[in-house]
Structure 1
C-alpha cells in the first residue's frame, strides 16, 4: 500500500508542467465565472490553449477539439457579458428558456452519437462516446454560461461528475482532481448566480 501510494504521488507530481499550468488557470477561470467576473474569459482562453495540447497527448481528441472551440466561445462570451443585454447593456442572470433546453438536448444527443461513432471507427480515441458526450454537454453549458443562464451550472455538474473518473483512468491526476474541485465551484456558482438573479428581480417586482 505505501509503495502504491508513493507511485501514485510520484506520477501525479511528475505530470507535465503544462498540465499543472492548465489546472491552475482552469481553476481560476471557473472561480471568476462563479463570481461573475469578466476576467474569467481571458484566463479561460489561456487555460484552454494549454489543454488543447494536454488532451491531445492523452488521446482525448474530442476534448482537445473542445478546447479550441472554447477559445472562440470565450471571446464571444466576453462580448456578450459586456454588451449582450438590452440596449447594449451588460447581461444579467436569467433562467434558461424551454427552446434553449430543446436545442441543447438535441445537440448533445446528435453530437454524442455522430462524433462518437466517427472517433470509434477512425481514430484510436480512448473513450469515444463518453468523450463525445462530455464535449457536447460542455459546449451546451458554455453556451448557457455565455448567455448568463442560471442552469449552466447544472450541466457543468453533470460534466464534472463524468470527467473525474475518465481523467483518472487516463492518468491525468492533477486534472482529475481539478474537476473534483469544479464540482464544488459549480455548486457555489449556482448559489451565487441564483442570489444575483433574485437581486435583479427585486426592483422589477417593486
Structure 2
C-alpha cells in the first residue's frame, strides 16, 4: 500500500500546469452538468482540447479520438440544449427503447471498431481497455447531448475502467479527476432522475 501511495505522490509532483488546468476545468464541467447548467459545454470543450494533447503524449489514442468526438458532441449538445432563443430548452428525459438500441450500438460497435484501429494503426499497449473506456464514454456523451438521465450510467461505466488505465499511464491527476467525476456522476444520476420524474408528472 505504501508503494502505491509513494508512486501516486511522485506522479502528483510531476504533474504539469496543463494537467492541472484540464483537471480544474473537468471538475467545473461535471459540477455544471450536475447542476443542469448549459455552461458545462464550453467548459468541457476547453478541458478536452488540453486533454487531447496530454493523452496523445501518453499514447492513449482511443481516448484522443474520444476527446475529439467529445468536442463535436459538445457543440451539438450545446445547440441541442439551447436550440433557438424563442423555443424552450430541451427537457431532461429517460431514454426510450430506440435510444437504448443506439446506445448499445455505439458501445459495442465502437468498441470493436476502435480496437481494430488501435491494433492495426497505432503502437497502443492497451487496445482493449482503451477502446472500451472510449466507446462507453461515446455512448454516455450521446445521451448527455440529448439530455437523457441514463447518460450518467454510461459515463460512470467508462470512468470505472478509466481510473486504473490512467494511473497505469502515469496520469495520476487525470485518474484522481476521473474518480471525482465518478462520485459526482452518481449524484448527478439521482438529481436528473428526480428532474425527469417531476417533468413527467407535470406533463401528465
Question: What TM-score do you get using the length of structure 2 for normalisation?
Answer: 0.93
CA distance in 1, matches of 2:148, 2:4: 44
Deviation at 1:118? 2.1
What are the Cα deviations for residues 182-206 of structure 1, in whole angstroms up to 9, with x where unaligned?
111111111111121122123223x
Task: Give the secondary structure class of the aligned counterpart of 1:100.
Answer: helix
Mapped pair 1:69 → 2:72:
no
Unmatched tracts of structure 1, length 5 or more: none
Partner residue of 1:147? Answer: 146
The reply on whether 1:49 has 2:56 as its aligned counterpart is: no
Q: Is the 8 A contact 1:117 1:129 kept in 2?
A: no
1:36 CA drift (Å): 0.5
What secondary structure sits across from 2:123 in the alignment?
coil
1:27-46 correspondence to structure 2 within 5 Å = 27-46=27-46
Contact 2:29 2:41 in 1 (8 A): yes
Are the counterparts in 2 of residues 38 and 81 from structure 1 also a CA contact under 8 Å? yes
| Unaligned 5+ runs, structure 2 | none
Partner of residue 89, structure 1: 88
Q: Deviations over 1:142-194 (max 9, x none)?
A: 01001110111110111111001100111100010111111111111111111
Confirm whether residue 98 of structure 1 aligns to residue 120 of structure 2.
Answer: no
TM-score (norm 1): 0.92
Query: What number of residue pairs does the alignment pair up?
Result: 203
Sort the Cα spacing of 1:115 and 1:7 in 2 relative to 1 into closer, same or farther, 3 A: closer
